[in-house]
């Protein structure tokens, strides 16, 4: 797949400051106007092992990771051996001259001479930014801002090191033509999926976030905790996931927009709470960041293996909505939509992400916050007559939700089947009516469902179906194949549930060949589509080794499925 | 001025003679004596016979899952500090299924009052052993008798230096009502473990059994003396002390967060400018 | 629906000894040769309220409950008002003459005169058994056996009371013709679904049962605990459901066939454990006795609302089997099959029942235990060479399972993705192979799947599709409709997963009209069928008010669906 | 006769300088000193840095879910009493996620030895507060410092009269190995809470911090004196006692069941006749 993007892989041990240099580099590149997309691959350990931080940069929007490596920045020798086979024709490797590595595509840096042991990553940063032809001042400023909290002395040292490396690199004659300048991403934001979800939640009026640490969702809690005091949000690390979701339900019942974040194993412990939220009709937003299972599985890798689990989590029958963002922009806006639906339909709403998207830094245009309103929890107190009936039977199934203590009206909610007043009942006629009332809310959710995103030819040779984080990879594959003259359509789901047949069926029938692309082993989305539309997608490109789906992977897969 | 009548009188699903009736009365009395109107109160319960109690009085109620009343109560209290939040549920609910939340709640010391209907048995599910059932207690699921040593919530509460640890007896309603009132008045987590006869399933710890053993702590008892309190909590077989067993003015959870001192969080407007600033931070 | 069965409803408050008189009566009737089927309807309280114990008896196998009441045995006045409208043409009501109830269909019993306050239920027993023309001696013996544990004095009193009532009743002239004698159920066993599951587990070699009390599964634990010492089974009441399933997994890992039992809310807490069992490939049998949800719902009522929940419970992807017994015989034999499959495929296997079946007493022919072998846990130690590889890659995905301590070989299991030796790994090639290995076991499960039970016409006007506890009701409806000349086929699933399309698709296409009968509000089985076979069942008869599905209910439903 | 070498030497995924290395060594030493061969031992762990330990020695291993090592260990021990069952996991695993199992295990008093790597932090997930983190401990998720009071496992263990309660320090391997050996020798549940420096995420309770404070209990210390032990468990800020803090010969869980005295349940044949009889009972 020939393309003009540059793929920079920084490799080394955990604890070598990969993330630091990576994040600064990303900001420098974006500030210089290039679009960027980061893929992080790390092991479940704190020191040692082998991790990579991969930045793909381009003059136009970068939507997916790529496999071929153009610049390999090796922070340790092991990295060279592990990745040199991926080096592209024009690519090269940045190494320490001291390692005695002898590839003809090596740029040997005198890290040793510079006494850079502690700050090797800073020097490396200088070398790469110089080679990319970035502006020295911009790089220095970006680094300074990043290290803002450090003491002046350390900052000085870092600056010195960077200058040294930068100048050295500029003098090297190396056959790497600088990328053509771009202004695409000038003053874009740089954030990952977790950041965008946190920000989306804050703009929605989030007041309570509870969690129990679990990769890859933990950073949402970290981000929110850092802003808790200034934004007026309670961020509570619970004793376990059961407490986390029950606290959030309590906080939401009391009137605060509430969210929890976790991954598969932690979510498993929240399942009973999901059913409680549904029964008490308490709004709650649940971020479920997938990682490979079963059980503990691969804690620091990615997968899309929990679609069916989330779709059916919780005993009993009740409405829900499930979103699966595929971009930073969707992480932000779908989180907002989740809060809105949770509040208006008094139901649990899910945001289904995965490890890849969670910590994939990307550039994105800033959001116009002025136009974005927070949700207003609860119904109008004045409008209620006595006796107040929290679960009054209504046409659309949504009953007036007062907040306890906000008026003289008493608010009663019960996990048992209950009367309109919320009190426990065993009246089976009421039972049936309550089930019907709750399920009627599903119609409202259906009415507001986001149709899948459809791109490309009306009557394609091939239609690619995807959901969530694979969006970009599929788009890229589509345009690549089109460039080769094929007629391609893409159908991408950013909302998985409710799934409305009439919005999609025609598309399926329009295609000569349909392939479903999923990050799991059994094709869960394909099954769901058949269940809801009757259309049977037989060809699949599936990945379940813990790595994100790349355009190259899909193309290889397509050649196998024999499309 | 509120009276016990403001808290209403309702039909219950309890067995005649159950200890729950007097606990319900004591709770209502305590709320009235605290000068609280029903809409200022939120009672959170789990599932069990005890957990049905909040349906039998006037208040805001969240009757949640078995074992999970504490986390719900904590979330609600943090969101609206103006509410007086009471957790009312059984021994199985609070010390069995909910044991982990019990430990965490003591450590957090949030201003919530726990009233535990401790009948030393699982009532609603027809009489299995609960964490507080005595060793050797015979049930249909423990035909050879309970093999574990019983959980003593008061001992653990004092050991962990909970802010307010008391034991009451359903047979002494006024004394109990006063304990609950004091628990509500106390800032921080208050535990009131209430000895409650279950006429249907606990034929060992009957009304008479408790009656014979329960005695109020002497006036000169020092609730601040931790070592003395620890020792006191071990009294059981022939004499059972009731009253406030330990009290400390530990910092509450709320004290740690300036945010929580500015009044109920639920009333706070969100500040767009701050969020704008946060977003700018991502440039 | 005219039929020759007699429907006896005993109604009264909790604590009035309904269950006692009911159980004795059932035994008396069965011992007299009649087939019986019990439906219990009780409220979630220990004293008071209104409960019923309904016995349907017949000269041929009774397979379902019926609604019309032939004998209403009222232990309190309230009962009369609540049920008199259900009295059949030939039916009548047994009341206390003291209540001043004045229906012309009343048999007024002088309970008061007899000073029967404490033992009213015993007297009632005498009256009913006499009216049914049962043998006095047989009734006395049955009662004695039931009260075996009581002291002689109490036994005496009971006997006296019974005799008194029995004689009195015989002298009454009441227009109720005794049922024609039958020898159908002579020396049948009388047990409910929970009993049969417990017995099936014991014959399978059950060594460990852990649970946390939850209706309607609790009685399984009660039954097993009562036999624990003599059978050599550990029955452990855990601190919570999470502990229950993890203990069972530990016990199974150590070599003991293990089972847990719970209902929806408790199972929600076991979901993470299910995923653990799958990842560590530890055999486990999970009894999931459904009740109406969401959340606490209706603890003492019935529903089939958790099919999809159980089918997808657990994060990550792994094989499982799900059984849904519909009769006492199936409760026994499918439990045995569950243990067998769990052991041979080292996977979690589910038994999905519901409140109705759990405590529905029925007569069933005794099982020939001599021919039924227990499972043999673990693989042959001798066959293993060093180093032993617990998770060796094999063709069918099943690896040799040694028991820790049974040999010098070390047995290592891990909830993380692991090597063949069972040690934690982040090697993504191994990851993929392990997923494939685990999923290959699904093929074996498919190979051994029980096809649905198919009865009736090849090309029917109507095919009724059902699963689990509704089996009998559907059968009865089918034969009723046939008797009216319609061509009916029934397709009943006793195993829900795996679901093999080619075993069922033809049947669907053979029918002019297909209706799915389910005890839930959304038609979960119908959805599953469409997902797996592509066949879309549009007509449904659903029930979700907490009551069991009866033949009458289905017939009413059919008339509405307009078949 | 087994030596520490029989337990092997493996590469780990831990940080250089981590306290886990010496705990691993102590465990191996204790197992060898107990005269146990690797195949006689089952080590059950949860998830965390500590929980990886069993992968680094020779034994039967069940590395289960975060927080759930105790129930798995209990199930395995009840099924095969011939196995020496060790639970090895972190403070978050045992006192956080697994808190409820901790309470229940103490009450059951089954013959299992718990070795808790207590680094007062969540290591594997990159440094959030754990239940034992000191009040005010600052982390990325607790930027204003931990608001809860720390959980003291030794205090709670003694308060609940656990059979064997000890505290060790990773910095004193031989002393620790001896504690573990004694824990294994003790019949019933043994808790060995091990103070473990985490060089990456706990900059407060460092090796030096512990080194300065830890001192072995005096020889004349009476492990049977509950009141004394309770008091002893409160020592922390400037002096931290290590050693066996409390020991009792409470009846074990196994003692309650004749069934469990007849040798490993896993070896027991099922008796058809008995089951036949049970079936007949349903006539
Ligand atoms: C998750 C879950 N597990 C089990 C149950 C069943 N259950 C309902 S109440 C109860 C025990 C009640 O005992 P306790 O809390 O002491 O209350 P009591 O009835 O004695 O007042 C149980 C086990 C449930 N509802 N939810
Ligand atoms: C159910 C569940 N929740 C959360 C996690 C994520 N997790 C893995 S290890 C860990 C904490 C580990 O702390 P600790 O037990 O103290 O072990 P340490 O790493 O400090 O040795 C957490 C929260 C998980 N694996 N499973
Ligand atoms: S069962 Fe016991 S606790 Fe429940 S209502 Fe009856 S007496 Fe009270
Ligand atoms: S993070 Fe801490 S506990 Fe984990 S290995 Fe590193 S030093 Fe040890
Ligand atoms: Mg109780
Ligand atoms: Mg730790």
Half-sphere exposure of C216 (CA within 13 A, CB side): 31
> At which residue do the structure tokens 């014959």 appear?
C203
Atom from ligand 3 closest to the CA of residue B19: 8
Q: What is the pLDDT of residue A103?
A: 75
| C40 Cα–ligand 3 center, Å | 21
* Nearest CB to A435; choose among C264, C521, C534: C521
* D36: pLDDT strictly greater than 90: yes
Question: What token pair was written down for A44?
Answer: 């479940």
CB B68 within 8 A of CB A242: yes
Q: Give, rounded to a whole angstrom, the gap between the first and last alpha carbons of chain C.
A: 18
DSSP string, C73-139: EESSHHHHHHHGGGEEEEEEEEEEGGG----TTEEEE-TTTTT-TTTHHHHHHHHHHHHTT--HHHH
pLDDT tens figures, D116-173: 999 999 999 999 999 999 999 999 999 999 999 999 999 999 999 999 999 999 999 9
C-alpha span between D186 and D174 (Å, rounded): 18
Query: Which atom from ligand 2 is nearest to the alpha carbon of D122?
Result: 13
D104 touches chain C (CB under 8 A): yes
C561 phi/psi in degrees, rounded to 5 = -60, -10
Alpha-carbon dihedral C217, C220, C225, C231, rounded to 10 degrees: -150
pLDDT of residue C175: 67
- Considering only CB atoms, which chain C residues are within 8 Å of D60? 404-405, 410-412
Average pLDDT of the residues of chain A: 95
User: Residue D232's CB: how many other CB atoms inside 10 A?
Assistant: 20
DSSP, res A176:
-
Backbone angles phi, psi at C433, to 5 degrees: -65, -35
Bridge partner residues of A412 (DSSP): B61
The 3-state DSSP class for residue B9 equals: coil
**Helix A193-203 vs helix A328-345: crossing angle, to nearest 10:** 40
Residue D149 contacts B where some CB pair is shorter than 8 Å: yes
The answer for B 116-145 residues in CB contact with D (under 8 A) is: 131, 144-145
pLDDT at C382: 86
pLDDT band at A562 (very low <50, low <70, confident <90, very high): low
Predicted pLDDT at C3 = 83
Supply the residue whose CA is at minimum distance from atom 7 of ligand 1.
C214
Q: Can you give the pLDDT at residue C222?
A: 98
Rounded average pLDDT over A400-404? 98
* Cα–Cα distance list, C6 to B167, C57, C88, C135 (Å): 55, 5, 10, 18
Give the pLDDT score at C286.
98
pTM above 0.90, yes or no: yes
Phi, psi of A311 (to 5 degrees): -65, -30
Whether D129 and A217 have beta carbons less than 8 Å apart is answered as no
Which phi and psi angles does D191 have, rounded to 5°?
-105, 120
Cα(C261)–Cα(A554) distance, integer angstroms: 44
Verify whether ligand 1 is closer than 6 Å to residue B50 (CB atom).
Answer: yes
CB contact under 8 A, A232 and B259: yes
The CA B97 to ligand 3 mean position distance, Å, reads 19
Give chain D's mean pLDDT.
Answer: 97
- How close is the Cα of A147 to the center of ligand 4, in Å? 25
Put simply, whether A299 touches C (Cβ < 8 Å) is: yes
- C296 Cβ closer than 6 Å to some ligand 1 atom: yes
Confidence of residue A104 (pLDDT cuts 50, 70, 90): confident
Closest-CA residue to D81 (of D269, D274, D272, D252): D252
Positive or negative torsion for Cα A31, A33, A35, A36: negative
Query: Are A239 and B72 a contacting pair at CB < 8 A?
Result: no
How far, in Å, CA of D137 to CA of D88, rounded?
25
CB A525 within 8 A of CB A493: yes
A465 strand-pairing partners:
A491, A516
pLDDT, position A3: 83
The angle at the Cα of A340, spanning A336 to A341, to the nearest 5 degrees, equals 120
**Could you tell me if C255 lies within 8 Å of chain D, comparing CB atoms?**
yes
Chains that touch A (3 or more CB pairs under 8 A): B, C, D
Taking residues A383-390, report their average pLDDT. Answer: 92
**What percent of chain D clears pLDDT 90, i.e. is strictly above it?**
96
The residue behind tokens 């990576």 is A22
Helix (H, G, I), strand (E, B) or coil at D193: strand
The Cα–Cα gap between A466 and A508 comes to 13
User: Residue A130 above 90 pLDDT?
Assistant: yes
Whether the pLDDT of residue A451 is over 60: the answer is yes
Q: Please tell me the distance between residue C428's alpha carbon and the centre of ligand 5 in angstroms.
A: 50
**H helices of D49-189, where?**
69-79, 91, 99-108, 153-159, 173-185
pLDDT of residue A2: 61
pLDDT score for A15 = 87
Q: How far apart are CA A2 and CA A23, in angstroms?
A: 27
Protein residue with its CA nearest to atom 23 in ligand 2: A213
Q: How far apart are CA C310 and CA A515, in angstroms?
A: 29
Ligand nearest to the CA of B16: 3
Phi-psi region of D85 (alpha: psi -120 to 50; beta: other; left: phi over 0): beta
Angle in degrees, CA B198, C210, C329, rounded to 5: 100
Averaged over B160-166, what is the pLDDT? 98
Strand B60-63 with B128-129, pairing: unpaired
Residue to mutate (ligand 4; options D88, D91, D123, D127; most atoms within 8 A of CB): D123
Q: Tell me which of B22, B201, B203, B204 to substitute to probe ligand 3's pocket, judged by most ligand atoms within 8 Å of the beta carbon.
A: B201
Q: What is the mean pLDDT of residues B273-283?
A: 96
Report pLDDT for A26.
97
CA C114 to chain centre: 39
Between B39, B79, B104, which is nearest A255 by CB? B79
**Widest pairwise Cα distance in chain B:** 73
CB of C317 within 8 Å of a chain A CB? The answer is yes
Closest atom, ligand 3, to C-alpha of B127: 1
CA distance B74 to B72: 5
Residues of chain C with pLDDT under 50: none
Nearest of A156, A158, A168 to residue A129 by alpha carbon: A168
CA distances from D95 to A463, B162, C108, C319, D135 (A): 52, 17, 64, 33, 16
pLDDT tens digits, one per residue of A18-77: 999 999 999 999 999 999 999 999 998 989 999 999 999 999 999 999 999 999 999 999
How far is the first Cα of chain A from the last one, in angstroms, to the nearest whole number?
18
C165 in Cβ contact with C127 (< 8 Å) = yes
Q: How far is the CA of A102 from the centre of ligand 6 (A)?
A: 43
Whole-angstrom distance between the N-terminal and C-terminal Cα of chain D? 57
A190, HSE (Cβ side, Cα atoms, 13 Å): 27
Decide if A545 and C415 are in contact by the 8 Å CB cutoff.
no
Taking the C-alpha atoms of residue C302 and residue C474, their distance in angstroms, rounded to an integer, is 17
- A297/C312 touch (CB, cutoff 8 Å), yes or no: no
Residue with the nearest Cα to atom 5 of ligand 4?
A: D14
Give the pair of three-digit tokens for residue B279.
């977003």
Rounded to 5 degrees, what are φ and ψ at A52?
-130, 150
Q: What is the pLDDT of residues A162-220, one digit of tens each?
A: 999 999 999 988 767 888 999 999 999 999 999 999 999 999 999 999 999 999 999 99
pLDDT of residue A150: 79
- Token pair listed for C227: 């036999």
Residue pair A413/A402 in contact by the 8 Å Cβ criterion: no
DSSP A82-140: HHGGGEEEEEEEEEEGGG----TTEEEE-TTTTT-TTTHHHHHHHHHHHHTT--HHHHH
């Amino acid at each position: 797949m020939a393309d003009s993007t540059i793929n920079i892989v920084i490799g080394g041990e955990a604890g070598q400051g990969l993330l630091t240099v990576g994040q600064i580099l990303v900001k420098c590149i974006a500030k210089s106007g290039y679009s960027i997309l980061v893929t992080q691959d790390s092991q479940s350990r704190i020191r040692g092992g082998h991790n990579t931080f991969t930045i793909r940069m381009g003059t136009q929007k970068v939507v997916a990771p790529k496999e071929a490596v153009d610049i390999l920045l090796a922070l340790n020798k092991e990295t060279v051996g592990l990745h040199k086979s991926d080096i592209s024709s024009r690519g090269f490797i940045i190494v320490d001259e001291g390692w005695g590595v002898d590839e003809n595509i090596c740029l040997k840096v005198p890290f040793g001479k510079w006494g850079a042991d502690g700050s090797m990553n800073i020097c490396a940063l200088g070398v790469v930014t110089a080679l990319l032809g970035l502006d020295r001042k911009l790089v220095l400023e970006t680094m300074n801002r990043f290290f803002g909290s450090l003491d002046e002395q350390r900052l000085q040292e870092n600056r010195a090191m960077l200058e040294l490396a930068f100048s050295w690199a500029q003098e090297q004659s190396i056959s790497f033509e600088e990328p053509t300048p771009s202004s695409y991403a000038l003053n874009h934001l740089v954030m990952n999926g977790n950041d965008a979800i946190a920000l989306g939640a804050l703009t929605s009026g989030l007041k309570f976030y509870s969690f129990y640490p679990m990769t890859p969702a933990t950073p949402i809690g970290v981000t929110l905790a850092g802003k808790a005091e200034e934004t007026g949000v309670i961020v509570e690390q619970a004793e376990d996931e059961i407490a986390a979701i029950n606290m959030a339900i309590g906080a939401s019942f009391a009137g605060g927009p509430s969210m929890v974040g976790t991954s598969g194993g932690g979510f498993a412990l929240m399942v009973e709470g999901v059913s409680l939220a549904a029964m008490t009709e308490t709004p709650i937003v649940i971020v479920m960041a997938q990682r490979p299972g079963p059980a503990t599985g691969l804690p620091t890798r990615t997968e899309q293996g929990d679609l069916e689990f989330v779709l059916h989590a919780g005993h009993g029958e009740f409405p829900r909505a499930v979103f699966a963002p595929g971009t930073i922009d969707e992480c932000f806006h779908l989180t907002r939509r989740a809060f809105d639906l949770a509040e208006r339909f008094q139901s649990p709403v899910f945001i289904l992400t995965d490890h890849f998207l969670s910590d994939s830094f990307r550039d994105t245009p800033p959001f116009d916050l002025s136009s974005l309103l927070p949700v207003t929890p609860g119904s109008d107190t004045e409008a209620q007559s006595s006796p107040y009936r929290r679960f009054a039977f209504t046409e659309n199934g949504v009953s007036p939700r007062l907040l306890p203590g906000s008026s003289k009206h008493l608010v009663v909610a019960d996990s048992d089947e209950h009367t309109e007043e919320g009190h426990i009942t065993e009246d089976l006629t009421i039972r049936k009516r309550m089930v019907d009332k709750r399920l009627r809310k599903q119609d409202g959710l259906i009415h507001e469902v986001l149709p899948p995103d459809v791109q490309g030819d009306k009557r394609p040779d091939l239609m690619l179906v995807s959901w969530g984080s694979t969006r970009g990879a599929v788009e890229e594959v589509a345009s690549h194949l089109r460039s080769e003259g094929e007629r391609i359509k893409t159908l991408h789901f950013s909302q998985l549930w409710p799934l409305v047949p009439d919005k999609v069926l025609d598309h399926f029938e329009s295609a000569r060949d349909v392939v479903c692309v999923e990050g799991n082993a059994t094709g869960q989305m394909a099954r769901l589509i058949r269940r809801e539309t009757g259309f049977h997608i037989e060809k699949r490109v599936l990945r379940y080794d813990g790595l994100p789906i790349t355009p190259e992977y899909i193309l290889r897969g397509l050649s196998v499925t024999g499309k | 001025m509120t009276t016990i009548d403001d808290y209403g009188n309702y039909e219950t699903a309890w067995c005649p003679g159950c200890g729950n009736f007097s606990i319900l009365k004591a709770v209502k009395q305590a709320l009235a004596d605290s000068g609280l109107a029903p809409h200022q109160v939120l009672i959170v319960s789990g599932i069990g016979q005890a957990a049905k109690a909040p349906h039998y009085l006037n208040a805001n109620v969240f009757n949640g899952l078995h074992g999970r009343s504490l986390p719900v109560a904590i979330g609600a209290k943090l969101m609206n500090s103006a509410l007086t939040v009471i957790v009312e549920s059984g021994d199985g609910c609070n010390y069995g299924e909910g044991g982990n939340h019990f430990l965490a709640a003591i450590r957090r010391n949030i201003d919530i009052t726990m009233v535990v209907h401790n009948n030393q048995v699982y009532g609603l599910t027809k009489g299995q052993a609960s964490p507080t059932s005595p060793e050797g207690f015979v049930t249909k699921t423990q035909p050879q008798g309970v093999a574990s040593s019983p959980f003593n919530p008061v001992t653990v509460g004092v050991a962990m230096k909970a802010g307010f640890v008391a034991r009451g007896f359903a047979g002494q309603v006024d004394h109990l009502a006063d304990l609950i009132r004091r628990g509500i008045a106390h800032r921080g987590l208050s535990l009131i473990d209430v000895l409650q006869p279950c006429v249907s399933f606990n034929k060992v710890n009957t009304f008479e059994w408790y009656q014979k053993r329960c005695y109020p702590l002497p006036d000169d008892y020092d609730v601040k003396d931790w070592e003395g309190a620890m020792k006191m909590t071990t009294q059981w077989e022939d004499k059972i002390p009731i009253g406030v067993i330990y009290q400390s003015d530990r910092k509450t959870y709320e004290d740690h967060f300036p945010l929580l001192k500015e009044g109920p969080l639920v009333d706070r407007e969100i500040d767009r400018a701050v969020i704008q600033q946060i977003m700018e931070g991502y440039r």
